[in-house]
Amino acid sequence: MKEQSYRKLERVTNRSRFKGIYNQGVWRSSQHFTSVTCGNTQGVKRLGITVTKKTGKAVKRNRIKRLIREFFRLNKNLFPAEHDVVIMAKRNMPPRLTYQKACDELTELFTRKNNI
């Protein structure tokens, strides 16, 4: 059951770490999401989420963040070991994105051949 949790040590929270990931990471993109992947020294998979105000109002932004966190919690095996991953929501997000559509798109994004 522990492996399906989203613990504090699995989060990227430091602003300087976000900047380091943006500068050194590998960028991938899909229709509604962009991911940046960078190695870390902590030895765990960590997730950072960025959803700007351009995406929509607070209710929409919080829903997108919940969808991404749930995807990470249930699909940790898709994320590379000992890497930090930042997922950014794009501006063209549909008003009512379902979990299944988000899950399909993120799964495709992380299972591409040229991923780390």
DSSP characters for 37-89?
EEE-SSSS-EEEEE--GGG--HHHHHHHHHHHHHHHHH-GGGSPTTEEEEEEE
- Six-digit token string for 97: 């994105």
Question: Which residues of the chain register pLDDT less than 50?
Answer: 115
Residue 96 lies in a domain: yes
In a domain, 54, yes or no: yes
Structurally, the chain folds into a number of domains equal to 1
What CATH number did the domain enclosing 12 receive?
A: 3.30.230.10
What's the confidence (pLDDT) of residue 4?
A: 77
The predicted pLDDT at position 5 comes to: 79
Predicted confidence at residue 61, as pLDDT, reads 94
80 to 64, 91, 116: CA distances (angstroms): 22, 26, 7
Domain coverage including residue 52: 2-110
Instruction: Establish if 51 belongs to a structural domain.
Output: yes
Is 79 among the domain residues? Answer: yes
Instruction: Supply 24's token pair.
Output: 């050194």
Task: Report the greatest alpha carbon distance in the chain.
Answer: 38
